[in-house]
Structure 1
Amino acid sequence: MLTALIIRSSENVTIVGDLERYYPDVRWIDVIMPFLPGRGETQEERHQILTFLTAMRNKYPEINFVLYARSYGVFSEEGRAAISSIFSVPVITATGAIISKLRTLKANKLYVITPYGQTRHGYELKWLNEYGFEIIASSCLGHDAGEEILAIKTEEVVAALKLTNSLKSRLDGIYVACTFLRTLTMNEELQQVASVPVVTATGSMLWELDQLRNAL
């Protein structure tokens, strides 16, 4: 049995249970990362992240891989490399997996759905643009609180996704943001409704995890 460290925020209360259902052959060590201000990209913020992760590495030396189910500190390649350097085992980050999945699918022209309010939604579009993705259109569902995002129903995401029908000739893919959003339970219905591939934050991590498990 493989042993994995999952790093999550305290608000993301469903992801561990979902992972245990999808991967019962993996022993998941649940680690809640304390709240830290900012985006995790300043020198001081990164120092706090690395100090915390070093302590977790030392506490759990038996792990086979790390699932960093957060975007904090990993928007940049430098941030992802810094976190990966702490561990001697593979590290899957949400942002890194999203970028990799979109590029593998050659999904460059995107319709983006986020659960967020306008400010956080705008930041999501910004980092995607910085990695060369073209945002054809986007939709934000207006939720910033973790408990509100967790409560979003499949129907709400499907309604936003159906807005792409008139854009399908211009799109390579649809990206649905946020690891809080329970897209693992929505995925089949989302793919059925969409005319182009749907890439989700959590689904991207598990896509990368499946590749990793095959290699271990």
Structure 2
Amino acid sequence: MKVSLIISSENTTLEKDLKMVLSDLRTFYMKYVPGHGESERERRKAFEELSKMKHDIEDADVIIYARSYGVFSKRGWNEFKKFFSVPVVISTESIINTLKRKGSQNVFLVTPYNQFRHDYEVKWLRDFGFKVIGSIAMGRTGGPAIASTPYQLVQDSVSIGHRNQEVDSIYVACTILSTIPILDKLKGEKPVITAASAILEELENVRQRRS
């Protein structure tokens, strides 16, 4: 399956990680800009940037939009899907869908973020009906700091979630955070969903629908 990957210029990890499991992957970078991409102006700018690459991006069986920018809401998901002429796997939608498929209600959240961005992730999950029972913010700001997060720090944070008796699943945020190489090491008593693993699960669903 031919896949086009759209990521932020800050994301130096996901392409490498996905190439461990995908044989035909082309990557397209979008300029990093601060903000969440939820305003009309931000969204318009994003589509203007994507328009310049649209023809090449659509030369694929499926597109992965591996950013949260502009797609924190269902409205954003729908607008990005309408923009492209081939199926689109959206990271944020994949996360929500995967959590729901696992029957998640009480979530333990792990993020690499500073406290301000971490709190936004807590609110985002709650807005979709999940209870955030506990959480860990690793306190890293910016793409380079997140990309260089030690695997052991991620594993230690997830292990705390596994020991929380109130939790029914663990969610590890951010597509810049490298998790694909350690997915087996994150396993434990609770299901663990990472931003990257949710994308792969949604991608497999697309593949099965095409076959």
Distance 1:61 1:177, change over 3 A: closer
Aligned length: 210
Please report the RMSD computed on the Cα atoms of aligned residues, expressed in angstroms.
1.4
Show the counterpart of 2:49: 52
Show the counterpart of 1:66: 63
- Structure 2 unaligned spans of 5+: none
Give yes or no for contact 2:91–2:195 (8 Å, CA) kept in 1: yes
Q: Alignment partner of 1:21: what SS?
A: coil
Q: How does 1:130-209 map to 2 (within 5 A)?
A: 130-168=127-165, 170-191=166-187, 194-209=188-203
TM-score (norm 2): 0.94
- Structure 1 unaligned spans of 5+: none
Give yes or no for contact 2:28–2:57 (8 Å, CA) kept in 1: no
Percent of pairs identical after alignment?
Answer: 35
Give yes or no for contact 1:54–1:86 (8 Å, CA) kept in 2: no
Whose RCO is larger (CA < 8 A, sep 6+)?
2
- Shift of residue 163 of structure 1? 2.0
Give yes or no for contact 1:53–1:86 (8 Å, CA) kept in 2: no
The 2-side partners of 1:164 and 1:21 are apart by 27
Structure 1 counterpart of 2:153, which letter? E
The 2-side partners of 1:51 and 1:181 are apart by 27
Q: Alignment partner of 2:109: what SS?
A: strand
The 2-side partners of 1:144 and 1:206 are apart by 26
Runs of 4+ with deviation above 4 angstroms: none
The 2-side partners of 1:62 and 1:163 are apart by 43
Distance 1:158 1:86, change over 3 A: same
Give yes or no for contact 2:57–2:63 (8 Å, CA) kept in 1: no
Q: Does 1:104 align with 2:98?
A: no
Query: Which segment is superposed worse, 179-188 or 34-43?
Result: 34-43
